[in-house]
A and B are shown apart, each in its own frame.
Chain A
Amino acid sequence: MKKVHKKTAMVGSMTGALAVLAAGCGTSSGQTSTVTNQTAAGSASVKMVDGLPLPQYNGKATLTWWSWVPNAQKEVDIFEKYYPNIKVHLVDAGAGATEYQKFSTVIQAGSGIPDVVMLEFDVMPEYIATGALQDISPWVSQLKNRFTPWTWNQVSVGSHVYGIPEDTGPMGLFYQSSLFNKYHLKVPTTWSQFQQEALEFHKLDPSQYFSYFSNNDGQWMFGLLWQAGCVPFQGSGNNWKVDIDSPKAVQVFSMWQKLVKAGAVQSIAAGSPEWQKNINAGLYATAVGSAWYDSEILVPYDHNLSVHKWRAAFIPEWTPGDTTDGDWGGSVQAVTKATKYPEAAAIFAAFINAAPAELAHDVAPAKDGGGGLFPAATAGFDIPSFKQPNPALDNQPANVDVFEKESPRVNTKFQWSPWSSYVFNELQTEIGKAFSGKETVQQALANVQQAVVNYARSQGYNVTT
């Protein structure tokens, strides 16, 4: 799960009346439940709970849970049926950066800290490094093989586990089949084909763009690098290797720079009113998105889906025949060090993300009262509602066609650093300069590399390059 419009949503809520922006933070409140398996009463003594090997919990516990998943209360209701002696109090503390700021503040203050908190993968190393999270391996390490392998890597350091993966965003290429039919375009399978078609398309229809480049989203830019096979960060604890300005990374951003310069691709702030207007007008023939892109971007912003007929395809590759993918967005339910009930919190985090009764709810579309998630637990892929044709994507069963296949191709070597927000900001700033012609892509990435290394060293990390 990912919200790209953190700030926009905030401005929207401030203005109130200006509904154009506020659209970003709406979540549907449909209550039709697709959950069927609610029969078993979780007796405290069983070791298998709804098919999951979880510890019994005899004590009483009350947990506070911060989450921005749509219809999260439903997850709590299901959980409390199986663990009636664990009560969960759900708090919506905002999405993404908004929530992280509140979380960091309560951590600093030492009070008001939730027991379980929703975090995205890219901030996990930061909170592990600051000592905010609890090692829950004693209760959940047996669940490792139930999750997409790279997700488990990103919530653990060695044998220590700090959270349960919730959802992921294997990347794919979204395209308007209406435009592709009109101009007889083939869905590109390599980036060189993408580049060539982009330039041709712009000549055929100069009023439209072949795609857009999110110049305000460092997380998305790192998704592009991840997909290209770059590994900018490697390490754990105190020792990190930083390699942001690799030749591959230069190649990735140079291609986008070239397309932006030629006018075939628009460099734009995702989430801005202009971007919203363009999405709605179908100005972009393609979009580099991920498994949740249709539910989080297309459904809320494109009100002409039946005209544009978006579909999903495999992400183009840098080397023909290659099948490397990256991830963009995806989250974790992490247990905090401050919790009084680490075991109950670990059970809750594991249960809501891996139990079949929960997964059926998690993968159902948010519009139908579900969680709208592309699950990190692989059992979620077998649920009928996950496999259904997607009305937002011209009735293409995109999860089966594309994302279920892309999920195991996500490069497992990729790691996030403990300085993600710093890195994102540096990258956005420098790429912005490069795209406006103030410096080359090579220089931009070298500057990011230098700044990140200096910052990490100033924080006492042992950094090699």
Chain B
Amino acid sequence: MQAARSHSKTVSAAAFLAPFLLLFVAFLLAPLLYAFYTSLFIERFGQPIFVGFRNYLNAFQDGAFWSSVVNVIRYAILQGVIMIALSLILALVLDTKYARWKPLFRLIYFLPYAVPGVFASIMWGFLYSKPLDPLLQAIRFDPLSSAALLYSIINIATWEWAGYNMTLYSASLTGVSTDLYEAAIVDGCNEFQLAWYIKLPLLRPTILMTVILSFIGSMQLFNEPFLLSALTPISQTFTPNMDIYAMAFNLTNLPYAATLAVLLGAITIFISACVMIAARVVGRRSRERSAPLVSSEEVLSV
């Protein structure tokens, strides 16, 4: 009887998991393995020739690819810090008792996220276009010049994603019991201290999640520079994804595009894992050093 029940449990569990597993295999695992397989060949006169890991050896010496990787890492750090700081400030300010029309402002800040990335890039492209913009002409600033380009893209991404991350933080904060805040206020906390010593530590898991998601998104930077390249010369190797796209579709070099894609995936997974491990170590150490008012896990388990 017992065995039969656990068996039926296994079956129902499998039934619930199967759709995910199927999609996971069909749209992630299988293409990943196929990309890796493709990367072991070169194509000559329409015929694939097996070359083992030679594409990877070439990729390791491919200066343009590595400088594009450095480019997006720099972008990821700069954009990540600016955006997350802004999102946090917006979320914490909206969470204070002084804030008015909270739902309205939440909606306004969230709106840019509702604009598809491609449209946002085109729209910003026009705003950035110096000959069409008397304001830019007056201050003699060209946001599409090669020196300013990276920062202009950071601005687009921050505009688009800050509200989205703010919404995640706001959602986490609404889950917190108000008893905690009342207790803190009774203990003499002002609004700033409340935000700094209580809300921020509570948000730590959410922040970690958004940092990693934003990092992964940044590594795949494509839409913005790709569309802006209609307005200003942007190298095809400005970001790794543009490089991969050009390899696959301009040069029809699918094996090498697959090689670079596999490498980019590996780099992204590696750095994400490092960030998670580092966050865990830092979290543990800070907890050991000075026991905070309440640890985030305790609160969430209440």
Residues of B within 8 A of A419 (CB): 251
CB atoms of B58 and A458 under 8 A apart: yes
Residues of A within 8 A of B61 (CB): 454
Interface string of B45-74 (1 = CB under 8 A from A): 111010100110010011110000000000
Residues of B within 8 A of A14 (CB): 118, 122
Q: CA A6 – CA B227 in complex, angstroms?
A: 12
Interface string of A430-457 (1 = CB under 8 A from B): 0010001000000000000001001000
Q: CA A15 – CA B125 in complex, angstroms?
A: 11
- Of B75-83, B102-110, B252-260, the one with at least 4 CB within 8 A of chain A: B252-260
Residues of B within 8 A of A422 (CB): 250-251
- Of A37-45, A192-200, A267-275, A295-303, the one with at least 4 CB within 8 A of chain B: A267-275
CB atoms of A269 and B232 under 8 A apart: yes
Known contacts A15-B122, A18-B126, A130-B43; decide if A104 and B230 are in contact (CB<8 Å): no
What's the nearest-Cβ distance from chain A to residue B251, in Å? 5
CB atoms of A458 and B55 under 8 A apart: yes
**Is A7 on the interface with B (CB-CB < 8 A)?**
yes
**Is A395 on the interface with B (CB-CB < 8 A)?**
no
Known contacts A7-B229, A451-B64; decide if A130 and B45 are in contact (CB<8 Å): yes
Residues of A within 8 A of B253 (CB): 459
CB atoms of A11 and B125 under 8 A apart: yes
CB atoms of B125 and A216 under 8 A apart: no
**Is B210 on the interface with A (CB-CB < 8 A)?**
no
**Is A460 on the interface with B (CB-CB < 8 A)?**
yes
**Is B186 on the interface with A (CB-CB < 8 A)?**
no
Residues of B within 8 A of A107 (CB): 252
CB atoms of A272 and B132 under 8 A apart: no
Known contacts A105-B249, A108-B252, A274-B131; decide if A7 and B230 are in contact (CB<8 Å): yes
Known contacts A105-B249, A422-B251; decide if A269 and B231 are in contact (CB<8 Å): yes
Residues of B within 8 A of A11 (CB): 122, 125, 227, 230-231
Q: CA A432 – CA B254 in complex, angstroms?
A: 28
Minimal Cβ-Cβ distance residue in B for A430:
B235
Residues of A within 8 A of B236 (CB): 425, 429
Q: How many residues of B contact A (CB 8 A)?
A: 41
**Is A277 on the interface with B (CB-CB < 8 A)?**
yes
Q: CA A451 – CA B64 in complex, angstroms?
A: 9
Chain A, interface size category, equals 35 or more
Residues of A within 8 A of B132 (CB): 273
CB atoms of A131 and B47 under 8 A apart: yes
Residues of B within 8 A of A57 (CB): none
Known contacts A11-B230, A100-B250, A454-B61; decide if A273 and B131 are in contact (CB<8 Å): yes
Interface string of A1-32 (1 = CB under 8 A from B): 00000011011001100100100000000000
What's the nearest-Cβ distance from chain B to residue A398, in Å? 29
**Is A126 on the interface with B (CB-CB < 8 A)?**
yes
**Is B207 on the interface with A (CB-CB < 8 A)?**
no
Minimal Cβ-Cβ distance residue in A for B131:
A274
**Is A101 on the interface with B (CB-CB < 8 A)?**
yes
**Is A230 on the interface with B (CB-CB < 8 A)?**
no
The one of A131, A272, A432, A458 in contact with B230, judged by C-beta atoms closer than 8 angstroms, is A272
Known contacts A130-B45, A272-B230; decide if A277 and B249 are in contact (CB<8 Å): no
CB atoms of A458 and B256 under 8 A apart: yes
Interface string of B264-283 (1 = CB under 8 A from A): 00000000000000000000
CB atoms of A273 and B231 under 8 A apart: yes
CB atoms of A104 and B252 under 8 A apart: yes
CB atoms of B233 and A273 under 8 A apart: no
Interface residues of B in 209-261 (CB under 8 A from A): 227, 229-233, 235-237, 246, 249-254, 256
Residues of A within 8 A of B54 (CB): 458
Q: CA A21 – CA B129 in complex, angstroms?
A: 12
Minimal Cβ-Cβ distance residue in A for B235:
A429
**Is A378 on the interface with B (CB-CB < 8 A)?**
no
**Is B93 on the interface with A (CB-CB < 8 A)?**
no
Interface residues of A in 128-143 (CB under 8 A from B): 129-132
CB atoms of B49 and A130 under 8 A apart: no
**Is A399 on the interface with B (CB-CB < 8 A)?**
no
Known contacts A130-B46, A274-B131; decide if A436 and B230 are in contact (CB<8 Å): no
Chain B residues with CB under 8 Å of chain A are 42-47, 49, 51, 54-55, 58, 61-64, 118, 122, 125-126, 129-132, 146, 227, 229-233, 235-237, 246, 249-254, 256
8 more contacts with CB within 8 A, not counting A11-B122, A130-B45, A131-B45, are: A18-B122, A130-B43, A130-B252, A272-B129, A277-B131, A454-B62, A459-B42, A460-B49
Could you list 20 examples of A-B contacts with CB < 8 Å? A7-B230, A11-B122, A11-B231, A14-B118, A97-B250, A100-B250, A101-B249, A104-B252, A129-B45, A215-B233, A272-B230, A273-B131, A419-B251, A425-B235, A425-B250, A432-B146, A454-B58, A458-B55, A458-B58, A459-B42
